[in-house]
Amino acid sequence: RYIVEQCFGTIKRLFRMERASYFGTTKVNAQVILKSICMNLKKAANKIFVDQPLRGAIRPNIT
């Protein structure tokens, strides 16, 4: 339950999903699907770039 609640909280906070922006089941369903795709892309980006340093990042001289 904790893992699922984290995803819902992140969607609510980052993608402003407190309330649906549209009326009608079809439009609300489309909105939820698009927000879910955004969340999955965010998760994938975090998994890809978590181990790689950013380009141009300042690194201290270790000498």
DSSP secondary structure string for all residues of 15-38: TT-SS-SSSSHHHHHHHHHHHHHH
Average pLDDT of the chain is 80
What mean pLDDT comes out for the span 43-57?
69
Judge contact between 17 and 35, C-beta under 8 A.
Answer: yes
What mean pLDDT comes out for the span 1-17?
82
Question: What pLDDT sits at residue 15?
Answer: 84
Residue 16: pLDDT band with limits 50, 70, 90: confident
Between CA 46 and CA 40 the distance in angstroms is 10
| Structure-token pair, residue 20 | 């649906």
Q: What is the number of other CB atoms lying within 10 angstroms of the CB of residue 32?
A: 13
- Does 60 have pLDDT greater than 90? no
What mean pLDDT comes out for the span 20-31?
91
Between CA 53 and CA 60 the distance in angstroms is 13
Question: What pLDDT sits at residue 56?
Answer: 56
